[in-house]
Amino acid sequence: MAHFIIEYSDNLGQDKDSIQSLLSALHQAADDTKLFPLKGIRSRAYCCEQYRMADGNPQHGFAHLQVLLGVGRTLDEKQKAADLFFEVFTNHFSAHYDERGMALSFEMKELEAVLKFNKNNIQDHL
């Protein structure tokens, strides 16, 4: 399981194709690690219209990537995956970062097995 959840400020001008490109790149990165079954890789993105950053300058932008993982990977494996995901994420927003005040943030959380429930049949449709 690797779930990608992205929040980003609406002033970044991200259209559907741009976000889909980022989601696709994150899926590919997760698959390339061989740590996550394809059937468990999911992503979603939310454009934030209401936000305030620092001094309130409307040109400031942000993007945040949260990755939720199921248990079963070593700390070293998680670190390598986190480095790769953050690289893909920051590369996507590099032009914005170079031209304005920009905050890029990332967090990876491992969900406790006893408090996480899943039911899916995606593998039957791949």
Structural contact between residues 61 and 97, judged by C-beta atoms closer than 8 angstroms: no
pLDDT band for position 107 (cuts 50, 70, 90): very high
Residue owning tokens 């032009």: 95
**Residue environment code for 66-90, b if the CB has 16+ CB neighbours within 10 A, otherwise e:** ebbbbeebeeeeeeebbeebbebbe
Structural domain for 98, as ranges: 2-125
- pTM, entire model: 0.90
Mean pLDDT over residues 71-99, rounded?
96
Structural contact between residues 22 and 103, judged by C-beta atoms closer than 8 angstroms: no
pLDDT band for position 13 (cuts 50, 70, 90): confident
The structural domain count of the chain equals 1
pLDDT tens per residue across span 36-69: 999 999 999 999 999 999 999 999 999 999 999 9
Structural contact between residues 36 and 30, judged by C-beta atoms closer than 8 angstroms: yes
Any idea what the CATH number is for the domain that residue 82 is in? 3.30.429.10
Sheet holding 2-9, edge to edge: 41-48, 2-9, 61-69, 102-110
